[in-house]
Structure 1
Amino acid sequence: MLDEINNAINSKIRPILAEHNGDIELAKVNDGVVYVKLLGACSGCPSARFTMEELVSSVLKEIPEVKDVKMADPISSEMLDFARQLLRK
């Protein structure tokens, strides 16, 4: 499944995002849920939600094992834990 996801990203999604100075990164796959990060111009674009729904999700959900596609948390869980510790002090 991972090869299929990477192939779909590289052949169908990445070229379209590149036309808009953007990119995509596969963060992880967990129990059929694919987590991605939009990069470049796409990361802060007001249309990022539309891009996720209309392009990324629709392409990746063509792969039978993919149940859902979500944006990966841009902040790592380790960084969030560190920030929580600082705030508690």
Structure 2
Amino acid sequence: MIRKIENLFDEQVRPALAAHGGNVEVIDIDNGKLFVKLSGGCQGCSSSSATLKDGIERMVKQNFPEIEEVVDLTDHASGDSPYFS
């Protein structure tokens, strides 16, 4: 399933994030939860929680109903170059 999620991210998520200097990495899947880490311009960005819940999580749940939640493991406090300050 991780490979299928990576394909979804490659085709639909990462291009949009890259436009703002960001990226998303799949860390793990456990108990219906997908764990991800945002990087680049997404790390520390004030809009990252909206991107995660309204964009990434919605898309993942539509394509993979067995995923109940997407959990952000990003250390946003250490972001050094967010797109939006």
Same fold at TM > 0.5: yes
Question: In the alignment, does 2:55 pair up with 1:44?
Answer: no
Larger radius of gyration: 1
Between Structure 1 and Structure 2, the one with more helix by share is: 1
Question: What's the RMSD between the two structures over aligned residues?
Answer: 1.2
Aligned residue number for residue 64 of structure 1: 65
Q: How many residues align?
A: 74
CA distance in 2, matches of 1:2, 1:28: 8
CA distance in 2, matches of 1:14, 1:70: 17
Code of the residue aligned with 2:38 in structure 1: it is L
Unpaired stretches in structure 2, ≥5 consecutive residues: 76-85
Q: How many Å apart are 1:23 and its aligned residue?
A: 0.4
Cα displacement string for residues 12-59 of structure 1 (whole angstroms, at most 9, x for unaligned residues): 110100000000111111112001011001111000111111111011
CA distance in 1, matches of 2:45, 2:6: 23
Q: Percent identity?
A: 32
Moved runs in structure 1, 4+ residues, more than 4 A? Answer: none
CA distance in 2, matches of 1:72, 1:43: 10
Task: Report which structure shows greater RCO (CA 8 Å, sep ≥6).
Answer: 2
TM-score, normalised to structure 2's length?
Answer: 0.80
More displaced stretch, 30-39 vs 65-74: 65-74
Aligned residue number for residue 54 of structure 1: 54
CA distance in 2, matches of 1:58, 1:4: 16
